[in-house]
Structure 1
Amino acid sequence: MKKVLLALFVLVVLAVAAAGGWYLRRERLVTEFAAAPVTLPSDGVTLIVPNGTGPKTLAKQLADAGIVTDPELLYLYIRREQAGPRLKAGEYLFEGTLTPAQVVEQLASGKVKLYRFTVPEGLRVEEILPILSRSELKLDLETLERLASDRTFLRKAGVPAGSLEGFLYPDTYSFTRNATAERVLTKMVERSLEEYRKADGLRKNGVKLSLLETFTLASIVEKETGQPQERPRISCVFHNRLRQGIKLQTDPTVIYAMKLLRGVYSKNITRKDLETQHPYNTYTTPGLPPGPIASPGAAALQAALNPLDCDDLFFVSRNDGTHIFCPTLDCHEAAVRKWQVEFFRNKRRQQRMSGAQ
């Protein structure tokens, strides 16, 4: 009997030793596997992890996609690290050279794939919406256009106008694949209102512009100059004219008015255009137009509410992106003669002379 018990004891010891050896070998394999880098294709590998995906199924997905080499070892690693409950659903982009441990960490952190688009400053809503529809988000253009003038959506988003014109903040945006048109447009409006609040915190004493008036003036400042240092001074000119009851007479509003009238955008302004009655034509209508004519950036919003102190009532383009500023009509007329009449006369003369040679 003692011999039988001793034999059983020996067998148990051997079994435990064998199991321990197997466990240690498995742990070593899992550890080595988790630290072994895998080089992915140059454009990376995109993987969609649906809601409710379990660790075993996920491990197979990753192996089938070539992101890891062994689904069983990956599953064992996830179990060992107790990472299963932390793994998040979503669309992931795996790039470069990654170890399985780094792959699991990316899934646990929820670092999903993002789709980006950039909206430059000074664009009109009709120019911005196609950027969104052409982006990798592939938003439906008709839906975007409908929302751009949908009163319910505008009210919910906090836009104090009948259109999104001027309230789609120029910036670079990142969204996940499932972003809707409503979500994207709402985010862009939120960014505009966020920058307005920052500008409002710097508002100069005596500036009484409402939120809508601020965006309207800022959009005109944005369209009048691409020079950041000029924006506060151009804003000063418009504030002075508004205060003295002088029409703003700014060309970008005429261009915008003609676009609304004709449905075609053109930068060429005729004398007839200047004389055409329209709420957005600041040559015929006093004060600010009814709303923005483009989307202003942060600097233009700040300039609208915090203009430079100046006596200027006019500015004239030097034809190089900068302007001459004038406090009097005589100064303005002299600048027009030099930088508009004589400048272009000399330019035409030089072109004729070079063509004759």
Structure 2
Amino acid sequence: MYIKKILLAIVLIGLLAGGIFAYYVYQAVFSPNTNFESETTNVYIPTGGTYTELIEVITPVVKDIYSFDRIARRKGYVNHIKAGRFIISKGSNNNEIINILRSKNAPIHVSFNNQERLENLAGRIAKQIETDSVSLVRVFKDESFTKANGFSIESALSMYIPNKYEFFWNTSAEQFRERMLKEYKRFWNEKRVKKAKEIGLTPVEVITIASIVQKETAKVDERPRVAGVYMNRYTNGWKLDADPTVIYAIKKHRDDWDTVIKRVLYKDLELDSPYNTYKYATLPPGPITMPDISSINAVLNYEKHDYYFFVANIENMGYHKFAKTIAQHNRNKKQYISWINKQGIKR
């Protein structure tokens, strides 16, 4: 009888211990283990990240890092760390968190526009995805790639069509470039290529003129008219005489891209640069900025008219006065110069 009581006691203690252990395991696996007040939070795991690095990243996100660590080891996650951006919901348990980190790399939206150079584009992109700007500039300027795809270093900016795109945060520089090439080819579909050909331009030439239009006017509704002026000049063999190209040439000549030039002087028109359209009748070797899609479409669908000149309209700021003759233009220009002198703008 005494032995039976001992055995019964051992069984009961075992059951109690097992119950306690099971409860502990259940708590560790299925109890909420988040440490933030917002509905969700992002966890970024770098490419090639180790489990130790993961623990550093996840520690501020969870209440109990020790229970997370034990469950992560039990589930074999320690040796299967994946890079990316992962969205953790408030109240998630360790099991759910680990499952998300294993397989639910969440995409992000990457956007860019109006960058003057590949270096500026690289800086903009590096703020949004994992890769750094140095790596991006290197692949953007890879001459074997640009040449193989019909670009030069000067025209390579044309390949990056400004828009909002979906990427994984851990996208590499090479992967970003390849995706942009696909988007460029998708943008320049048969219809757009046909339109470009009908107006005597290649896609890169369209983007180059569009970049000038972009710089000339911020008014989307005015862009087809401004594009029409430049197409009239170009198709008739005139120099484009575009102030924004001179400003770009000055910046490039000085290697000073932060300078602000509000007024182009006569002496600036003498700068010997392929970007100076007051000196050369050819198009610049590439875009002087990244034009919006509205500017590209403005060139492809430019307004047919007889205007060859335009100057800022001081009576309707942001817009321009257009002229068919040099005499009419000079009258408009005189009014503008008088106004700009009164503003004290010398450079």
Fold agreement, TM-score > 0.5: yes
1:162 to 153, 157, 161: 153
Alignment of 1:225-304 (within 5 A): 225-265=217-257, 266=259, 267=261, 268-304=263-299
String of CA shifts for 1:255-279, please: whole Å, max 9, x gaps. 2223333323442532122133332
The residue that corresponds to 2:100 in the other structure is: 106
> Which whole-Å CA distance do the structure 1 matches of 2:217 and 2:153 have between them?
26
Report the equivalent of 1:40.
36
What is residue 6 of structure 2 aligned with on the other side?
Answer: none
Match of 2:311 among 277, 293, 316: 316
Structure 2 unaligned segments of length 5 or more: list them: 1-10
Structure 2 SS opposite 1:130: helix
Letter in 1 for 2:236: Q
Q: Measure how far apart 1:202 and its partner are.
A: 7.8
Q: Which runs of 5+ in 1 are unaligned?
A: 1-14, 55-59, 349-357
2:227, 2:303 within 8 Å by CA — same for their partners in 1?
A: yes
Query: What is the SS of the residue equivalent to 1:222?
Result: helix
Larger displacement relative to structure 2 (282-291 or 125-134)? 125-134
One-letter code aligned to 1:333: N
Equivalent pairs, count: 328
CA–CA distance in 1 between the matches of 2:85 and 2:175?
20
Report if the CA contact (8 A) 1:40-1:96 is conserved: no
TM-score, normalization by structure 2: 0.71
Cα root mean square deviation, aligned: 4.7
Letter in 1 for 2:105: K
Residue identity matched to 2:141: S
Which of 304, 318, 340 is equivalent to 1:344? 340
Q: Quick one: percent identity of the two aligned structures?
A: 25
Larger displacement relative to structure 2 (203-212 or 217-226)? 203-212
Q: Against the structure 1 CA distance between its residues 245 and 50, is the aligned structure 2 distance closer, same or farther, given a 3 Å change threshold?
A: closer
Deviations 1:69-126 (A, max 9, x none): 69889999xx9xx9x9xx9833344445133375366346523475x66433253323
After superposition, the Cα gap between the structure-2 partners of 1:176 and 1:61, relative to the gap in structure 1 and judged at 3 Å, is same
For residue 206 of structure 1, what is the aligned residue in structure 2? 198
Alpha carbons 2:216, 2:244 under 8 Å: kept: yes
Q: Deviations over 1:217-271 (max 9, x none)?
A: 1111111111111111111111111122221100111122233333234425321
Q: Is the 8 A contact 2:87 2:106 kept in 1?
A: no
Q: Could you say if the C-alpha distance between residues 193 and 331 of structure 1 is closer, same or farther in structure 2, counting changes exceeding 3 Å?
A: farther
Determine if contact 1:88/1:109 at 8 Å carries over to the other structure. Answer: no
Alignment match, 1:8: none
Whole-angstrom distance in 2 between the partners of 1:165 and 1:63:
38
Tell me which residue corresponds to 2:144: 152
1:329 to 326, 329, 344: 326
Does the C-alpha gap of structure 1 residues 64 and 140 become closer, same or farther in structure 2, counting only changes over 3 Å? closer
Deviations 1:28-67 (A, max 9, x none): x95997485745366946364999x99xxxxx99997764
TM-score normalised by structure 1 residue count:
0.69
